[in-house]
A and B are shown apart, each in its own frame.
Chain A
Amino acid sequence: GAVVSQHPSRVICKSGTSVKIECRSLDFQATTMFWYRQFPKQSLMLMATSNEGSKATYEQGVEKDKFLINHASLTLSTLTVTSAHPEDSSFYICSVQRAGMDTEAFFGQGTRLTVV
C-alpha cells in the first residue's frame, strides 16, 4: 500500500491566490519530510526539508516567504504556495524516508499546480 499520501493531485488557481498542498506519511512517523519541484523534462529539485516542530530548511534560491512549510505533526507536512504566479506552475512532490542513511525515499503522488 501507499506509504505517502499527497493531495490534491491537481489544482488550478488564479494568479495572486495561495494554494496549500498536504503530504501525509501513512506508514511511519516522519520527523523529516522533503519537498521537491519538477518542471517539464527536468529532474526533481529539492526545495526544502520540512522538520517536525521546527523551521524548515530551504535550498539556495528558494524563497521561504513564498513557499511556506508547516510540519505540525509527525505525519503531516504542508506546503503553501503564496501569491502564486504562472511561473510557479510545476509538479510538486513530497517524500518521506525512515531514519538512517541506508533507507529509501518514498514519494507522494505529486501535485500538478497550474496558475492562470
Chain B
Amino acid sequence: QKEVEQNSGPLSVPEGAIASLNCTYSDRGSQSFFWYRQYSGKSPELIMSIYSNGDKEDGRFTAQLNKASQYVSLLIRDSQPSDSATYLCAVRGGGNKLTFGTGTQLKVEL
C-alpha cells in the first residue's frame, strides 16, 4: 500500500488559471509536509513546506494541510507555462525519512 498518494495527471490548466494539486498520506504520525517541483531530467527543488493545519501562502503558492483528513494540497495561482513540471508531495515520518508520492504532472497551456 502506497504511503503517499498523488494523482499522476497530467493536469492541464490554461495560463492564468489556478492549478490545484492534491496529496493524501497514510501515516497519521507524520509531522512535516513538503511540495517539490521537478523539471524533466532535473532534481527536485523545494516549493513549500507546511507543518501545521491550515493554509500557508508564499507568493503564487498556497499549501493547505488537514491532518484529520490526512490531506495536503498545493494551489498555484496565475499559472504560468514555466510552472509546467512534476510536483512531488513528500511527507516526513519517523526516522527523519522523507516519503515521496509519485508526483503529479502539471501542464500549463498558452
Contact = CB atoms under 8 A, between A and B. Distances in A.
Interface of A: 6, 32, 34, 42-46, 49, 91, 93, 95, 97, 101-102, 104-110, 112
A101 to B, nearest CB: 6
B1 interface: no
B42 A97 contact: no
Contact of B49 (A44, A91, A104): A104
Nearest to B8: A41
Nearest to A6: B43
A43 B100 contact: yes
A49 B97 contact: yes
Given A102-B32, A110-B42, A110-B43, A46 B97 contact: yes
A41 B110 CA distance: 24
Given A105-B34, A107-B43, A34 B102 contact: no
User: Which of A44, A45, A97, A101 gathers the greatest number of chain B CB atoms within 10 Å?
Assistant: A44
B46 interface: yes
Identify which of B32, B43, B44 gathers the most chain A CB atoms within 10 Å of its CB.
B43
A43 B103 contact: yes
A104 B43 contact: no
Nearest to B98: A105
Contacts of A106: 46
Contacts of B95: 49
B98 A34 contact: yes
Given A44-B88, A46-B97, A46-B99, 15 more contacts: A6-B43, A34-B98, A42-B102, A43-B101, A43-B103, A46-B98, A93-B44, A101-B31, A101-B96, A102-B32, A104-B49, A106-B46, A108-B43, A109-B43, A112-B41
A45 B97 CA distance: 11
Contact of A104 (B42, B46, B99, B103): B46
A97 B97 CA distance: 10
A102 B31 CA distance: 8
A101 B100 CA distance: 16
